[in-house]
Amino acid sequence: MRGQILDDVWRKFRQVRVLALDFDGVLTDGTVFMDVAGRESVRCSHRDGQGIVDVRAAGIEVVVISSQTSEYVAARCKKMGVPYYYKATHKLRTLESFLATLREPVTLEQVCFVGDDRGDLEVMRAVGIPCTVADGIPECHDVAVIVTARHGGDHAVREVCDRILEARKGA
């Protein structure tokens, strides 16, 4: 794996202290199901959830920051036990506010952020490890240092989590 990632990117992965995630298009495939009563639901990956459990067990903070207004964001994040901000109108400021709540200081350089669309670009440009999913928009691909092999909602977050953990092991 290390041969596939530039040494400086590999070193940055070892220094990640916070994994920040967009929701729709990253933890989901971007599809929204709606019933006749107007209730929305989405499909999420349990493998992504396990990756989140694994990085948290390694002492890495995880946060979800989404501009989405639907309650399914809160429901999924509560189930995973992950802090979340939804209805976020300014994701970078929201991330900075989250970092300020942590016991030990964390810089943006120590953040890995996974996004997939225009609303994520400002954060991607500000953090040390900007990532996008395989089906992220071309602008995200241009900014990302890592583009996952998997699409959003199809274990792409697990892929990022595994890379972080692998880098921490010094592999």
> Measured between alpha carbons, how far is 90 from 67 in angstroms, rounded to an integer?
8
| CATH number for the domain harbouring residue 143 | 3.40.50.1000
Residue 27: the pLDDT is 97
78-112 pLDDT, tens digit per residue, is: 999 999 999 999 999 999 999 999 999 999 999 99
Write out the residue range of the structural domain in which residue 132 sits: 2-168
CA triple 155-161-164, angle to 5 deg: 150
Residue 2: the pLDDT is 45
101-152 pLDDT, tens digit per residue, is: 999 999 999 999 999 999 999 999 999 999 999 999 999 999 999 999 999 9
Biggest CA–CA distance in the chain, Å, is 52
Give the number of domains in the chain.
1
pLDDT over 80 at 3, yes or no: no
Residue 171: the pLDDT is 52
